Amino acid sequence: MTHADLLARIERFLSHTDMSASYFGHRAVGNSKLVKRLRMGRTVEIATAEKLLRFMQAEMAVRKSKARRLLRRAPEGVFEQRGPMTEAPGGSPEQGATA
């Protein structure tokens, strides 16, 4: 894996998780300046790159697991997609009504 590949994976991960770069570095390898330095062109050893990749994989697995648990606990129909809510004559919202 090249430096550019690693940095691209980290950037995608940060974007997907809304995790800050410094928090990511701190959590993954105990170095809050890691991503800043990678962005400046510094490289990391293979062992550090492997730690970063393992951290990202584990974090995504945890997040998926939490999402599944939330979906299982949600009342039926909460996450169903429906039409836009609009104001019905009389003041109460009506499903799919048009103005």
User: How high is the pLDDT of residue 99?
Assistant: 47
pTM over 0.85: no
Q: What is the pLDDT of residues 8-31, one digit of tens each?
A: 999 999 999 999 999 999 999 999
Q: What is the pLDDT of residues 30-82, one digit of tens each?
A: 999 999 999 999 999 999 999 999 999 999 998 888 777 777 776 666 556 55
Helix (H, G, I), strand (E, B) or coil at 84: coil
User: How high is the pLDDT of residue 92?
Assistant: 52
Residue 94, strand partner residues: 86
Rounded to 10°, the helix 21-29/46-73 angle is 110
11-36 exposure pattern, b = at least 16 Cβ within 10 A, e = fewer: eebbeeeebebeebbeebbeeeebbe
Domain boundaries, the chain: 3-73
